[in-house]
Structure 1
C-alpha cells in the first residue's frame, strides 16, 4: 500500500485503541435501567480459548456456547468425559454468572465425523439442530449427561436450537430426566439445569406463548430468524439486502417473542448479531429483553 493508505489505516487502528480504552472504564459497571431491571451483557463463544478475551471485555457470563465447534474440531465424536470437562471448565471460569450452552446444532451444511447426513437440497430447512438430536438419542444423551455432570461446577443453562414444535421440548426434557436418573443410579455427581429454547424459526415465534410455559428462558437468534422470516438465504449475496433485522416483519417477530416471555415471567435474551447494535438496543430493552450476548 502507498503511504496515504498506510497512514489512513494507522489512524483507524489508533482510533479503535482509544475507543477501547475509553470503554474499559465501563466493563465493571452493572448495566441497570431506570425501571430497576439489570441487563446482562454476555459473550458468544465457541471454545475455551475464547474465555480470556470474553472476561477481559467484561462479559457477564456466556449467552451462547456453540458446542458444534467442539464436535467439528475432532475426527471422532467427543466422549462424554471430554464434553463434561469442557463444559465444567467453562462453568468454573464464569461462575457465578450463567453459561448458556446450546446443544449440538449441525446440519448438512457443516457435517461432522461420526454422523452421516442425507443429501439435501436445502440443509438449512432439513435435518439439523434439535431434529437431528432427537433422532440420534445416542449422541444427544451423551451430551446431556455431560451437561448434567458439568452443572455441579457452575451456573449452566441449556438451550435447544431449531425448535419449531412444543413436542421437541417435552421430548428433550424427558431425555434430560432419563439421563439424570441414570447418573443417580451410577452414583455420578450431577445437578439440574434450566432448559430454554433458541427462537430462530417463525414457528417458534408463533407458538412463543405456549413455549414460554414449558421453558425457563428464550434466546432470540436474530441471524437465522431473519433468514427464515424473510425467506432469504443469508449466505446468498443476491438477496443479501432482504436479510435486514430492522425489517418490520423481523422486528415484530422479536417483539412478539419478547412479550410472550415477559408475560410468562421468563428471561428473554438475544444472541444474534443484532444484540451488538447500539441503534437497536433501546428498542430491544423496551420490548423486555434483559440479556444481550455478542
Structure 2
C-alpha cells in the first residue's frame, strides 16, 4: 500500500509502524460539595502543569534551541490567562462541578472560539488550549500520557502531535513520524526539522497498519506499508546512499566556500541562543549571520537586565573567537508574545506592533539592549541588525539612538568597538527603497520567510495555503536581485538569513545574483558548502 502526503523533513526511514495512542481523558460530570477545595485542586494541578512545561522547555532548549522551545513558555502563559482561569473557577463555583469537567468544558469552548477566528495565529492557539487542558486533566486524574513502548525503534504514526508530546519522545526509539494533520510550518514540523527526523504530514492511514513494516520517503512525501522485496531493496540502497552522503559532507569541514570558477561567499549560521553556538561551530560556520536575541526576552519573566544581556552577547562573541556575530535586535510580536510587555491583542499581529516598532516606541528597552551589545562588542566582532524596517526615517532614528548609547558609554569610560549596522529586508517597502536604505547602513540581510509572506499576501502558518505559498515565485526572485543590485551600488554587502538561503536548488541562483553571504541553520551549512563547491557560476 502506498499513501501520499506532504514532507516536513527529508530522509529515508525503514522500520515497523507504531501508532501513538494518546491516553484519552474520560471526563464525567460530578456534583461536588466543597467548592473551594475543588478550586484548590484545579489551582494545584495548574501549577503542576506549569512545572512540567518548564521541564519540557529546558529539554527542548538542549535539543532544538531557545526559539523552537518557546512554545512551552507560551503554554505556561496560557495556563495563567485570566479569562481561561476565571471560566474554570466560575464553572466550579456556580455549577458545583468537579475540576476535570470544568477544565474539559472550558478547553472545548476556548478551542472552538479560537478555531472560529479569522486570524490564523489565533486559530493555531485552538490546538494549544486543548493541549494544556488535557495536561491539567491528566494531572487531576493521575493519568499517564502516551509514549513509545518496546525496544525496537519505530516509525511513529499519530493523528497529530503536540509540541509537548514531540519533546517527550525517546528519540532513540523514533525513526520518523507521520501524522494525519498539522502544517509544514507548525511548531512540531520545526522541531522535526531541527531534530533531523524524516517526517510526513497529511497521511490518512488506517488503524490496522500498526505493527506492519513501513518505509518513509521524506523526499517525496510517501509512506509505503508492507513494501514488496523490490521496493525494500531500492530504499535500503537509497538509505545507504544518504548515510554515505552525510559522511562525505563531514569531509567538507575546513574547506572554503568557493565555486569551481573561484567565486567566494560567506556561509554563516542562524542561532536562537547561546546554547546553539556549539552546533554552529561543530558544523564549521564562518560566523553567526542571525543571532535571534528575543530568546532572552522569551525565557525571562521580566525585562532582561543590561547585565544579563551583556553576559549572553559576550559569551557568544568570545566563543566565536573573532568570527563575525550579527545580533538581530529584539523581534517580538506576531507569533512571539511576551506577557510582561503588556501588548494589546491585535486583529492581525503579523502586520502589527512588533520588532523595531516596539523598540522605537519604547526607547528605554531598546537602549538597554544596545548598551549590552556595544559593551559585548569589545570581546569579539559584533554587527547589529534591525528587523522589520520600512523607511529611511526609522533608520535615521535608530542611528540617533545608537549615537546616544555610544556617547553614554564613552562618558562612563566603558570600552566598546564600532559595530557594522545593518537591516533586515523583509517587507516589499524595504525592497522598493533599498537604494535609499543602502546609503544609511553597512549591510542588508534578507528575511525571505516574511518577505514571501508579505509579498504574496499568504500567511505561512496557514496549512490551507501551503499549495499557494511559493518561495520560488518570480516576484520574490526579482526582489532578491533588486536588493543585491541596490546594495552593491551604494556600498552595502548583502546576505540572506531566511530559510530560503538553505534551499540548495537555488544556491547557484544566489551565487549568480551576487549575494555575499548566506546564513542557514547549522545543520545545513555543509550541504550548502557542497553545492557551492560544485557550482560554476558562469554556467
Identify whether the pair has TM-score above 0.5, normalized to the shorter chain. Answer: yes
Higher alpha-carbon deviation: 141-150 or 262-271: 262-271
The answer to whether 1:250 aligns with 2:476 is: yes
Per-residue deviation, residues 223-274 of structure 1 (Å, max 9, x unmatched): 0000000011010112222321111111111111111112122210001111
Q: Secondary structure of 1:63's match?
A: strand
Partner of 2:508: 282
Partner of 2:385: 159
1:215 & 1:194 partners in 2: Cα distance? 8
2:354 & 2:334 partners in 1: Cα distance? 7
Match of 1:4 among 197, 207, 213: 213
Q: Secondary structure of 1:5's match?
A: strand
Per-residue deviation, residues 121-156 of structure 1 (Å, max 9, x unmatched): 001111111111100101000000001001001110
Aligned residue runs from structure 1 range 175-214, under 5 A: 175-214=401-440
TM-score by length of 1: 0.95
Per-residue deviation, residues 166-216 of structure 1 (Å, max 9, x unmatched): 111111111111001111111112222011000000000000001111100
Aligned residue runs from structure 1 range 1-294, under 5 A: 1=17, 2=211, 4-5=213-214, 15-33=241-259, 36-294=262-520
Q: Which runs of 5+ in 2 are unaligned?
A: 1-16, 18-210, 219-234, 521-539
1:36 & 1:172 partners in 2: Cα distance? 38
1:210 & 1:129 partners in 2: Cα distance? 21
2:474 & 2:216 partners in 1: Cα distance? 41
1:272 & 1:194 partners in 2: Cα distance? 20
2:339 & 2:321 partners in 1: Cα distance? 32
**Cα distance change on mapping 1:13 and 1:88 into 2, 3 Å:** farther
1:13 & 1:76 partners in 2: Cα distance? 48
Is 1:108–1:117's contact at 8 Å kept on the other side of the alignment? Answer: no
Q: Secondary structure of 1:241's match?
A: coil
Q: Secondary structure of 1:29's match?
A: coil
RMSD: 1.9
Higher alpha-carbon deviation: 105-114 or 202-211: 105-114
Q: Secondary structure of 1:88's match?
A: helix
1:58 & 1:272 partners in 2: Cα distance? 19
**Cα distance change on mapping 1:14 and 1:81 into 2, 3 Å:** farther
Q: Secondary structure of 1:210's match?
A: helix
1:86 & 1:17 partners in 2: Cα distance? 36
TM-score by length of 2: 0.52
Higher alpha-carbon deviation: 233-242 or 124-133: 233-242
2:329 & 2:473 partners in 1: Cα distance? 29
**Cα distance change on mapping 1:236 and 1:7 into 2, 3 Å:** closer
Higher alpha-carbon deviation: 193-202 or 27-36: 27-36
Is 2:374–2:417's contact at 8 Å kept on the other side of the alignment? Answer: yes
**Cα distance change on mapping 1:36 and 1:8 into 2, 3 Å:** closer
1:8: how far off? 8.4
1:13: how far off? 6.8
Is 1:108–1:119's contact at 8 Å kept on the other side of the alignment? Answer: no
1:71: how far off? 0.9
1:275: how far off? 0.6
1:5: how far off? 2.6
2:217 & 2:389 partners in 1: Cα distance? 46
Is 2:313–2:373's contact at 8 Å kept on the other side of the alignment? Answer: yes
Is 1:74–1:113's contact at 8 Å kept on the other side of the alignment? Answer: no
Is 2:334–2:351's contact at 8 Å kept on the other side of the alignment? Answer: no
**How many residue pairs align between the two structures?**
294
1:57 & 1:154 partners in 2: Cα distance? 20
Higher alpha-carbon deviation: 4-13 or 254-263: 4-13
Is 1:220–1:269's contact at 8 Å kept on the other side of the alignment? Answer: yes
2:261 & 2:485 partners in 1: Cα distance? 17
